[in-house]
Structure 1
Amino acid sequence: MAPPVPAQYNQQYTQPQQSSIAALTNQFSNMGVGGAHLIPVHLIGMPPNVKDLDDSPPKINLPPNTSVTPSDKANCDPSYKRSTLNAIPATSSLLSKSRLPLGLIITPYRSLKEGDEPVPVISDTIIARCRRCRTYINPFVTFAEGGQKWKCNMCFLSNDVPSQFDWDIQTNQQTDRWKRAELNHAVVEFVAPTEYMVRPPQPPVYLFVIDVSYPAIQSGAVATAARTILESLDRIPNEENRTKIGFITVDTSLHFYSLNSNASVPQMLVVSDLEDVFLPQPDDLLVNLTESRAVVESLLRSLGDMFKDTQIVGNALGSALLAGFKLISPIGGKIVVLQSSLPNINPGALKAREDPKALGTPKESALLQSADPFYKKFAVDCSRSQVCVDMFLLGSQYSDVATLGCCPRYTGGQTYFYPAFNAGRSEDALKFAHEFAEFLASPIALEAVMRVRASKGIRMTAFHGNFFVRQTDLLALPNVSRDHSYTIEVGIEENITTPTVCFQTAVLHTTCFGERRIRVLTLALPVTNSISELFASADQIAITTLLANKAVERSLSSKLEDARDALTNKMIDILGVYKSALTSSQSGASPQLQICDNLKLLPLLSLGLLKHVGLRASSQIPTDLRSYAMCLLTTMPSQLLIPYLHPRFYSLHNMPQEVGTYGSEGTIMPEPLNLSSEKLERHGAYLLEDGQNIFIWIGRQVSPQLCMDLLDVRSYEEIRAGKVSLPQLDNAFSQRVNAIIGKTREMRRGVYYPHLYIVKEDGDPSLRLWFLSHIIEDRTDTVMSYPQWLAHLKDKVNISFL
């Protein structure tokens, strides 16, 4: 029996009373005062204001009292989940007419930075769900019958409120319902009761599969990896000392390591039979990290020298993966692969298939697809057993990222690529060690499934990201990595008659400290019949993220050229509909190209995508680099993806005095510049970064004093270009530039640690061209400048009206 309902709820149980000012504001927004309005922008002749890339998405204008509490956290923060449209078309025909894409960008486990609010955890295991559609109770339900019933906001079925919903089990006293986190927060995490488990929560399991063939030893990859793991043992998630760890090293044989906690040194067990892989002993190959810590440390200290005299160039990665799967599949966990050479022994043997003649031609697409079905089949088997594969590819030559990347793609893992890795270069060793250590320290969600539910009439039509689709709408994720993004396309099946719709994402998972939990993200959006409201609600950042994912998929299923054409046609469609439906020049040619203010950077971002290394028309981009770029385009959260497509560009030589110093919000950053070579002055120094690399461009007439203050050299001629570590010198300018670089590395979400390159104006031509390829408003050898791109779009739009 439910506890008695307090008297103040009997009169109106639908929600607590909001203040009169809030109610008045809601009334005005409902009438359109302060609501969504189209602000037209003329694109041609005006340089894009790149500072606006940091703007918030269009406001979500819900009808008054849509949420059951007045909490400002009732609707989902865009860093967790954002829609391409912040108003949903009432009909499929309106969506089709608008040509705007409808989809969700979901980052359920985004990292928490300083100042971020943690996700509320509901630990009393009282989980109210709709008995018909299984929606979790959220801020957008309504209560009835004196609070004894709640009405689902998805299917509108009336459900009983759980008997303990208003009761604090710990104090055994009645509690205030309106303070419950699930009625005030769009993002919550429930501690799951036993019915959400098919087995006890799995411990974190890390099995390292390390290539020890000649190329791996020569490059220093093995020694650097072993040292990083050793130094990270205290950072690996290991709450309650449950974490398990194991090692397999591989060349033309498999080397297992018995890590018995009573032994002082590990025992190596060699298996040379690669056809029918077996485990050499049943125990001590996968051990409790805490109990076997001493012997694990002993192995890691000796691993760098263990194979130092090897001459073996063969590698049996496929057999090592099968052995690793046998070892951890009864529990599940992570297989972390550190690979420095191309596997050349079956199963999964690969050949160097880079073909310079195919680059830039229709045949290039074949090189971007997997060369061997072994890796996808293996990944699907892993997914069934809750095994995730992460790939660290450190090859000095061709690595076949396209094929090896299949394992992370279908198991919820990630691919990391370090081309021409050489630990003898301190910058290479530092980047890999930093990213690998951050990867090892990251909290992870294990044995997860993700499902997105939506209001009646809406369904999910396509999924993009690293996972395996187990059912039509259920994504299997052996791992949910921090800051991984998942993109879902949405379709409208039948007319929507309600004033709002909801999307709810639920991720059932095991935390790395052994608790079964459900993370729930709820997003409510208004419904509209107006095409102008639809355009005013469009989120250019979310649209770009969706288009990037669709472009990668099109490139792999068809040709790169088809992906570029589809992207161009989508821009023409959107601009054409805006012209025909929402401007005065609805017919005939017009000299200007217009779009609404909230979409004014979409043509620039689409040009950035067309010029990106993942999609650019070029015969000079190695297949591995393009494949890796595609991996990043389909997994990055928006905070990383947008600078990856549209790099940040700053002037250093004439910074205001406060830039690079510490302010109320940390290091004060410079104003971003447009990506145009018009900004490059010969006496200047500039910084450009895309989240993966940082470039400092030095003009040939730069002052000797700047050379001394920044690089500790006396003149431009003495500057050493290329991959460097910037010196930290005892002067204000050096300290400010280093602070800007530090802030740049810190403000992105993810483990990435960008390399730094010094580029001289008249220096190495290839380095100079690489830098200039990021200056996307300029014309490049095959792709238009930004003004030319706008003129091209305008002509195409005008032609469609003739």
Structure 2
Amino acid sequence: MLAGSRPSFNSGPPSQSMQQQPQALHPIYPNQFQSPTLPPNFSANQQQSPILPPNFSSSQHYQASMSSNHQIQSHTQHHTNNQQLSSSQFPSQSLNYTGPQQSLQGQFSTQQPNLTGMPQSSVGPFSLEPTTHSLTSTGNQQLYQSQASIMPTEMNQTSMQQGTITFNKFCAPPTFSNAQFPQPLPFPNQSSPDMSGVPQYQQTQYPGSQRPNNNAPSSSFAPISQSPPAISYPQQPLPPHYSNQPNFSTAPTKSGSQLNGPNAYSGHPPPSGSNTYPAQSLSSGSSIYSGQQPPSGLNTYPGQPPSSGPTQQTYQSQRIDPDMVPNVVQVLEQSQEKIQEPFITNAPGSIPPLAATDFVCQDQGSCNPRYIRSTTYTIPYATDMIKQSQIPIALAISPLANLRSDEFEPPVTNFGEIGPIRCHRCKAYMCSFMQFIDGGKRFICCFCEAATDVPPEYFNHLDHSGRRMDWYQRPELCLGSYEVLATKQYCKDEKWPEPPAFIFMIDVSYNSVRSGLVEYICHILKNELLNYLPKDKDAETSNVRVGFVTFDKQIHFYNIKNTLGQPQMMIVSDLEDIFVPLLDGFLGSPLESRAVINSLLDQIPQSFANTQETETILAPVIQSGIQAFREANCSGKIYVFSTTLPIAVAPGKLSNRDDKKLLGTDKEKTLLAPANNIFTKLGEECAQQGCAVDLFVFPNNYIDLATISEVCRVSGGQTYKFNYFSIENDGERLLDDLKRNFQRATAFDALMRVRTSTGIRPIDFLGNFYMTNTTEMIFGTIDSDKSVCVELKHDDKLPVESNTYVQAALLYTSISGQRRLRILTLALTVTSSYTSLYPACDLDTIMNYITKVAVRSISVSTPKSIRDSIITQSANMLACYRKNCAQSTTAGQLILPETLKLLPVYVTSLIKCDGLTGTQTVTTDDRTLQMHRLMSMNIKGTFAYLYPRVFALHNLEEDKIPPPMIRCSYDRFSETGAYVIENGLVMYIWLGSQLSPTFVQSLFGIQTSSHIQAEKCRIVDLDNPISRNVRALLNLMRNERNSYMKSFVIQQRDSIEPFFKNYLIEDKGFTGGASYVDFLYHLHREIRNILQ
């Protein structure tokens, strides 16, 4: 029913009917490709921290679980000789390596095999068979070997003291014997002859400012009773590709004074073309173990603390040196250094640079890898290879991905009435891999090999090479990505669409008004956001229309017709049968109705300033927005600003069902699943209407995002969460998120289909969208930050040494109301060889796919089963490589292919991340939010989530922003430094306990760090180099992410520091989960079990 208007709004004359916007017509793409190759000038037309407690405030303290006397706690678990560590025991329990010690006396060299066609890294800390090696090394610099291995390498035995290293067939580290020692160095837990039990660190007190590394591996070793042997090594020249200057992109080089100990490096220069990852051994005479502290000032590299650093280990121990295992920072730096020229897509199967690197792409056949990336660019010819390798065959597609400023957007062409040129059999669109025959009268489809007649309007002659004469004048013939203006046959009911509209729905209940949210939203809409409405690249003004709704237990619609002197309100209180009372005037142009809109935004806060209504509705509000779009025959977005759980009596009413005790257990899926299907059905209605819901929630308590955010997930929208909203702490973030949301490239009323060559087909689709059949993904909206994964399956064996093709076609309405098709094509090669399959893998895409599969499995599986599945799949990938590509290597080595050498560190992070295996420190709503983000996250976002970026702030230089990355480990932090870490969702600034007061004053404008509050502290805009450089870096980091990252300031030894440490993924997790080094042990054990 309708009720009278509550505020005093004036009436006005009726509005004029909306005018239909004609479709812009363009001629066939102009002749601007005259170069024999593509010319360089080618052109055409937060949330609150998920790990902080939900009720966190600066005045509250949460005690970290650590020893008050700063001791390293060690635990021993005894296992018999035959016990095996199951995946269910990992990673929460320490690893145990048991078995009788065996040794063979003698000295010999281990010859590393020379594999052809496959560079690889090996970081194997184990030897299965008894083997004795000569411990030798040369030079005062670290040399590298072709197959990097944590095993003894081929040794130079000229004029050197020699020691023997004895390996046993189990997982325990080797013993070391030398003439200087009357007895071998003690073996871990050598009290029992069968070597059972877990090695232990010696508990050591930490005097003064030194404190233990709480993230140290749970398994450790007994103290060394004597100093390591002093072995001297003659100096040899460096390899030609290394300079005498320090190179921090590789493992640190020891100084001459350290070469007289067991931490010296060994090995020969690598052969040409081989992988140059450091050769490593699990010997106590190799640098992988750091039994003693290096002298002060030695072995320094970016981010490592001096000898007085916060986690400097003073105890004598044997452990894997983290510097000697593959690390993300080094790989990124090396990959970036290799990028000297643009990546050109003219060859099928071309492997693009890493997604996190900065590169320029020239489209010359296949599309830009920012649009489509494949898990491997060489497809196995048969299903058997996929089953054995466990490498997923999938695509990560971001059809509207942002490009660099010096790259070109897909050009828009118009075929007129004939419409897009397509294969008559499989309906694939014209691409650069189609072949023309019969003098240009027909073309052969590269997907199904059918011949299709060329329409007379599209005919052109062929040159002597069989190409059309206008090959370089038409983007569909020479590019991998282009757009086509669609005909009416591609429109709903064969009618041209109207430009999209935005509807703003504002909660005006008591909580929303009291927090200042209503007034702030109206303020930024009036003064900021309406000036940021999106528009086409060449358009002068935006065609987007806007509408306004407020709600509590009722829904208030507003007439903003430009002929009115004041806006009009109409109230709908019948929530069972929702309708829009305004047929004309609800949606209006911000340019034509700006005065009325400004008046409305001024009056809304005043009208509800004294409200006492605490209950709200939500489902009927969204339903009314869908109805408004339906009546206006347009697509668009619904922006909902809500503060409380919708408990008012109405469709979609919810109750508090939160139970944190279930998180992390087998029953957590009941909390993470929707309470009902009402919001899921609303999302389906949105998708079919061509609109999406972006939900901004501002809760003080549980709001059941698992249920209400379903409407965002299904429609292609996004959820934003602001805990305990205040303008001071969250106003800037809200404004920035809305600006980004408005300005990013967005497609409305979109439908995407993936076509493939004969022999493979898409079978599974992962992301936030709606499907009514098995082939088409429907999006209310999809934007530049969203990505989907499509898994491919073999229907038959593919011809070896041939090419296979995939094409993604996105049909959508642009922001100006044009109906367009975006065509993206990628060419891949086919192989029957594992030595060709593994070098063509793209780990970034593999992890994006595995992450999405794992998140989707949460609703049907248990956390333990999901973790076990990820570990098993990873172990199978590496075991297959070991079996088929590295048979000649010793059994004790962990062999990693070059393209997958970072797989262990990413899996380490994934299996203990909050989004996948949350704990009670993460609220149910925050867990749901991360799950939805991960399902739509693009590859670059997944990389940042799995391996957060860390930068030092205390030594920033203006001409070196961003500075070099630092590894994600607490060992890299110095007490005298300041660091920033971000994962795309949240940002922390960590301040060392000995940080200079001058730095604090220059950055925060306060005298002492004791006045800093984690959430409220702000970096002040001060005119000094420190403030300018830090603000420049933080702004750069935020601009690279798709949402504004809220920053928290953490001080060393602060009570909430352990929560911050959860982001240091190379360390042991604060709430559980193994360290990177520990996981390598476990992964190697899994691989050996598979091979045996």
TM-score by length of 1: 0.89
Task: Give the match for residue 493 of structure 1.
Answer: 795
* Alignment match, 2:1086: 796
Report how far residue 59 of structure 1 moved: 9.9
- 1:42 is aligned, of 107, 120, 123, to 123
Give the match for residue 560 of structure 2.
Answer: 259
Alpha-carbon distance, 1:720 to partner: 3.8
1:120 equivalent in structure 2 = 411
Q: Tell whether the 8 Å contact from 1:603 to 1:790 is kept in structure 2 after alignment.
A: yes
Counterpart secondary structure, 2:456: coil
| Cα distance change of structure 1 residues 784 and 166 upon mapping to structure 2, 3 Å threshold | same
Deviates more, 1:194-203 or 1:206-215: 194-203
1:185 equivalent in structure 2: 479
**Residues 704/558 of structure 1: CA separation in 2 closer, same or farther (3 Å cut):** same
Decide which moves more: 191-200 or 467-476: 191-200
Q: Verify: 1:756 aligned to 2:1047, yes or no.
A: yes
Cα contact 2:349–2:377 (8 A) shared by 1? no
Aligned match of 1:274 = 575
Q: Percent identity?
A: 32
Residues 1004 and 1017, structure 2, Cα contact 8 Å, conserved in 1: no
Residue 726 of structure 2 is matched in structure 1 by 422
Instruction: Look up the SS of the partner of 1:153 in the other structure.
Output: coil
Match for residue 238 of structure 2?
none
Decide whether the 8 Å contact of 2:345 with 2:362 is kept in 1. Answer: no
- 2:771 alignment partner AA: V
SS at match of 2:531: coil
1:391 aligned residue: 695
Matched residue, 1:228: 524
Residues 1:402 and 1:388: Cα distance change in structure 2 (over 3 Å)? same
The 1:442/1:299 distance shift into structure 2, 3 A limit, reads farther
Deviates more, 1:448-457 or 1:226-235: 226-235
In the TM superposition, residue 711 of structure 1 has moved relative to its aligned partner by: 2.4
Counterparts of 2:688 and 2:744, CA distance in 1: 23
Deviation at 1:165, TM superposition (A): 3.2
The answer to whether structure 1 residue 630 and structure 2 residue 905 are counterparts is: no
Pick aligned residue for 1:439 from 706, 724, 741:
741
Which has the higher mean CA deviation after the structures are superposed, 346-355 or 232-241?
232-241
Match of 1:89 among 380, 383, 406: 380
Q: Which runs of 5+ in 1 are unaligned?
A: 1-14, 20-34, 169-173, 662-666
Compare 691-700 and 711-720 and name the one that shifted more. Answer: 711-720
1:407 aligns with 2:488: no
Q: Which amino acid aligns with 1:398?
A: Y
1:50–1:672 Cα contact (<8 Å) kept: no
CA, structure 1 residues 725+227, in 2 after alignment: closer, same or farther (shift >3 Å)?
same
Count of aligned pairs between the two proteins: 748
Q: CA deviation at 1:317?
A: 1.0
Q: Which residue is equivalent to 1:674?
A: 967
Note the alpha carbon deviations across 1:393-434, whole angstroms, 9 max, x for none: 1212212111111101111211222222222xx231100111
Q: Secondary structure at the match of 1:131?
A: coil
What code does the residue aligned with 1:406 have? E
The residue aligned with 1:652 is: 953
Give the Cα–Cα distance (whole angstroms) in 2 for the partners of residues 338 and 570 of structure 1: 42
Q: Residue 501 of structure 1 aligns to a residue in which SS?
A: strand
Structure whose CA Rg is larger: 2
2:514 is matched with 218
Distance of 2:564 and 2:999 partners within structure 1: 58
Distance 2:388 2:792 in 1: 15
In the alignment, which residue of structure 2 is the partner of 1:291?
A: 592
State the partner residue of 2:835: 532
Q: Distance in 2 between matches of 1:717 and 1:336?
A: 40
Q: Are the equivalent residues in 2 in contact too, given 1:142–1:151 (CA < 8 A)?
A: yes
More strand by share: 1
Superposition deviation, residue 647 in structure 1: 0.3
Residue 7 of structure 1 is matched in structure 2 by none
Counterpart-to-counterpart distance in 2, 1:680 and 1:16: 53
- Structure 2: state its 5+ residue gaps: 1-33, 39-115, 126-319, 351-360, 462-467
The Cα shift of 1:128 comes to 1.7
Amino acid at match of 1:485: S
Give the residue type in structure 1 aligned to 2:120: I
Greater Cα offset, 684-693 or 98-107: 684-693
SS in 1 for 2:998: helix
Q: Deviations over 1:238-273 (max 9, x none)?
A: 567643322221111111112222112211112222
1:73 aligns with 2:377: no
Q: Which residue of 2 aligns with 1:26?
A: none
Question: Within 5 Å, which residues of 2 pair with 1:130-169?
Answer: 130-165=423-458
Question: For 1:33-54, what per-residue CA distance to the aligned partner results, in whole angstroms no more than 9, with x for missing partners?
Answer: xx97433342655233323247
**Matching residue's letter, 1:430:** E
- Name the counterpart of 2:683: 379
User: For residues 339 and 742 of structure 1, do their structure 2 counterparts lie closer, same or farther at Cα, with a shift above 3 Å needed?
Assistant: same
1:347 maps to what in 2? 651
Partner of 2:942: 641
The whole-number CA distance in structure 2 between the counterparts of 1:698 and 1:237 is: 40
Q: Give the direction of change, closer, same or farther, for the CA distance of 1:723–1:774 in structure 2 (3 Å limit).
A: farther
Determine if contact 2:706/2:928 at 8 Å carries over to the other structure.
Answer: yes
Q: What residue is the counterpart of 1:103 in the other structure? A: 394
Q: CA deviation at 1:333?
A: 2.4
Q: Specify the alignment match of 1:775 in structure 2.
A: 1064
Letter in 2 for 1:194: K
Amino acid at match of 2:1076: Y
1:356 to 640, 660, 663: 660
Instruction: Indicate whether 1:510 and 2:799 are aligned.
Output: no
Whether the aligned pair in 2 keeps the contact of 1:228 and 1:436 (CA below 8 Å) is no
> Which residue in 2 is equivalent to 1:705?
998
Residue 590 of structure 1, aligned match among 879, 883, 891: 891
2:623 is the counterpart of 1:322 = yes
Structure 2 contact 124–895 (Cα < 8 Å) conserved: yes
- CA offset at residue 690 of structure 1? 1.2
Contact 2:894 2:1084 in 1 (8 A): yes
Cα separation, 1, equivalents of 2:950 and 2:1016: 18
How far does the alpha carbon of each residue in 1:13-48 deviate from its partner, in whole angstroms, 9 at most, with x for none? xx99899xxxxxxxxxxxxxxx97433342655233
Take 1:390 and 1:653, find their aligned partners in 2: how far apart are those partners?
A: 38
TM-fit CA distance, 1:308: 1.6
Task: Identify, as 1 or 2, the structure richer in helix.
Answer: 1
User: Which one-letter code corresponds to 1:40 in the other structure?
Assistant: S
**Partner residue of 1:483?**
785
Deviations 1:612-666 (A, max 9, x none): 21013522211111110111111121122211221001122244xxx443xxxxx
> Which residue among 481, 497, 500 is the counterpart of 1:201?
497
